[in-house]
Amino acid sequence: MIGKLKGVIDSYGEDFVILDVHGVGYVVQCSVRTLQKLPKPGEAASLAIETQVREDAIRLFGFSSDGERDWFRLLQSVQGVGSKVALAILGVLGPGDLATALATQDKTMVSRAPGVGPKLAARIVAELKDKAPAFGSVDPAVVRLAGEDEAKTAPKPVQDAISALVNLGYGRPQAAAAVAASVKALGEAAETSALIRRGLKELAG
């Protein structure tokens, strides 16, 4: 089994790269995000590889990190998620975003991936929610604030800042994540207006 490939970029296809390793061109399928991170043809590159052996083919999937490959494997443990859908999800969400989406039960975020409808997104979130912390560093404050009950017991400026961002059209999990990051940066004594301004910056970044 191939676990890693190091070589020179030969050429790109729509959803794959041909990596030249000592004169042998390996066709490696990658997510959109991974392809965007790779250098131009003729330059050196290294990819973490997942090898899938089928009766009729051997397919190589490439990732910019071992963590991204772990997510690829984990996503396929959900019924209805094959390699194509797993790559589509990783093309839209990086490992950190995916961990946050699962920890905060954000089905909408997961359903942004092509080929992922609301039902499948709900199943992915439900089945993987307990596995998310093992794969990503999700701030517990984000998870707490994303829950309705916890948000109600949060300090008033925090509650008001989350409500303001939700009223601007952001989902509660995204708003909670932005405000939690703002509290971390500005301190717990920060006023509502400062948390909103900082929260909008977090969401824009």
CATH of domain 67-135: 1.10.150.20
Question: CB count, 10 Å around CB of 99?
Answer: 22
Residues 6 or more apart whose CB falls under 8 angstroms from that of 62 comprise 5, 17, 19, 28, 29, 30, 34, 47, 48, 49
Q: What is the pLDDT of residues 90-122, one digit of tens each?
A: 999 887 778 778 877 788 989 999 999 999 999
pLDDT on residue 149: 44
Q: What is the pLDDT of residues 119-173, one digit of tens each?
A: 999 999 988 877 654 555 455 555 555 554 455 667 888 889 988 988 888 877 7
Rounded Cα gap, residues 178 and 103, in angstroms? 15
Q: Where are the domains of the chain?
A: 4-63, 67-135, 140-204
Q: What is the pLDDT of residues 28-39, one digit of tens each?
A: 999 999 999 999
Domain range 4-63, its CATH number among 2.60.40.10, 2.40.50.140, 3.40.640.10, 1.10.10.10: 2.40.50.140
pLDDT on residue 69: 92
Q: In 65-76, which positions are buried (b, 16+ CB within 10 angstroms) versus exposed (e)?
A: eebbbbbbebbb
pLDDT on residue 79: 92
Q: Mean pLDDT throughout 1-20? A: 95
Q: Is the pTM of this model over 0.75?
A: no
Percent of the chain with pLDDT over 90: 52
Angle between helices 95-103 and 118-128 (to 10 degrees): 90
Q: Give the model's confidence band at 83: pLDDT under 50 very low, under 70 low, under 90 confident, else very high.
A: very high
pLDDT on residue 205: 64
